[in-house]
Amino acid sequence: MAPAEHSRRSNTWLQRKGVRLEHISKIYQDQKTGKDFYAVQDANITIAPGEFVTLLGPSGCGKTTILRMIAGFESPDEGKIFLGDEQIDELTPNKRDTAMVFQSYALLPHYNIFDNVAYGLKLRKMDKAVIREKVLHILGLVGLEGMEERMTNQLSGGQQQRVALARALVIEPSVLLFDEPLSNLDAKLRVDMRNEIRRIQQEAGITAIYVTHDQSEAMALSDNIIIMKKGVVDQVGDPQTVYYHPADEFVADFIGESNFLHATIADKLDSETALCRFEGHEFEVSGCSHLDKGKECCIVLRPESARLADEGTLACEVVLSRFMGHYQNYHVMVGDTLIKITDFNPRTHKIYNVGDHAFVDFTKDEVHVL
């Protein structure tokens, strides 16, 4: 490819493509019992061009299987996969317009940074001048400019991750796939690198699909989060929606921390508002259009949405009070139910001690009713 032709190609990169999964299932056989089971069952997922989407869930939920089916390392037993308008589920991995960033980095140890990043371009037999231009551009994007001669065994974990990211980006894929890429890094570096990954993805304008079991990572990176449970897509939404309006107790418990108040609808005040009865207390909550009088419900109360006060909604006794720096951590008992409270900026608030009697306070709009 001549440099001028490469320039025209770069100007159109990235021709953004979305990903669509239609009724995708993957069946494995249990090695112990010999019985078939669904690793992924009837997944319907639409990812818009240029979007950053995270597949989130505990180990064994099917998230990595979905990523591997998109990449072509696994084949679906049912359903279709589309990249843009092209059906790709029968194409080999090298024929798909995708690139993968692995957990292990998978760098070539006897190559320097330049040759590691250039490897895919050399396989495509590109012009040397074009390869150099593309590699240096990508190294600048990932913050490794001037380091192209450095050997990979001389790099820190964060630098190795940047090389792996550059190698995936340099071939200009329509979709970038991440398989838990930060799990080998220490906590502080993970935070720094996830910010870098998001910056680079937005700057490149590339569609990204990211697998993790770390909910804070998913919240920080994603336009949308796909939460999976036992092979099934449980909820899809932006971080605010899945946090404040979880579909069920599993999502509420997996995304952040939650208190679950198992209550009864004592009365309906209007179509949206109800009077709830919990541990001998009655209080108003909104978002109850799906519930009738007399029905049982589960109220999701986030620890930071609750406050301890001398007057309020639920009478309680403090059983734990711990200063954590930027917040005070409380555990209180309301009847037989333990409620956790996170009080930010406690320096300006009254501090309650173990054994104190107080009230848990919140407004009707600070809870979510399942």
Q: Do 100 and 168 meet the contact criterion of CB atoms below 8 Å apart?
A: yes
> What architecture is the 3-250 domain classified under in CATH?
3-Layer(aba) Sandwich (3.40)
pLDDT of residue 327: 93
pLDDT at 4: 42
pLDDT at 2: 42
Of 89, 84, 44, which is closest to residue 71 (Cα–Cα)? 89
CA 111 to chain centre: 33
- Kindly write down the DSSP assignment for every residue of 129-170, as one continuous string: HHHHHHHHHHHHHTT-TT-TTSBGGGS-HHHHHHHHHHHHHH
Predicted pLDDT of residue 111 = 87
Q: What is the largest CA-CA distance in the chain?
A: 78
Instruction: Could you please state the CATH topology (level 3) that the domain comprising 257-369 is classified under.
Output: OB fold (Dihydrolipoamide Acetyltransferase, E2P) (2.40.50)
Full strand arrangement of the beta sheet holding 98-101:
98-101, 175-179, 207-212, 52-56, 224-229, 232-237
Residues 6 or more apart whose CB falls under 8 angstroms from that of 83 comprise 17, 18, 19, 96, 97, 98, 174, 175
Strand 224-229 versus strand 52-56 pairing type: parallel
Q: Which pTM value belongs to this model?
A: 0.84
Rounded Cα–Cα distance for residues 29 and 345 (Å): 52
Q: State how far the Cα of 210 lies from the Cα of 225, in Å rounded to an integer.
A: 9
Query: String of b and e for 327-344 (b: at least 16 CB within 10 Å)?
Result: bbebbbebeeeebbbbbe
Q: Does the CA dihedral 7-8-9-10 come out positive or negative?
A: positive
Q: Which residue ranges make up each domain of the chain?
A: 3-250, 257-369
Sequence letter at residue 174? S
Looking at the chain, list the stretches that DSSP marks H as alpha helix, in order from N- to C-terminal side: 3-12, 63-71, 113-123, 128-141, 157-170, 187-204, 215-221, 239-244, 249-254
Find, among 311, 322, 320, 281, the residue nearest to 299 by Cα.
281
Nearest-angstrom CA–CA distance, 280 and 292: 20
Q: Are 355 and 307 in contact (CB under 8 A)?
A: no
Q: How far apart are CA 9 and CA 276, in angstroms?
A: 61
Instruction: Spell out, as residue ranges, where the chain has pLDDT lower than 70.
Output: 1-15
List, in order, residues 6 or more apart from 284 with CB less than 8 Å away.
269, 273, 274, 275, 276, 364
Written as one string, the DSSP assignment of 213-250 is: S-HHHHHHH-SEEEEEETTEEEEEE-HHHHHHS-SSHH
pLDDT at position 205 is: 86
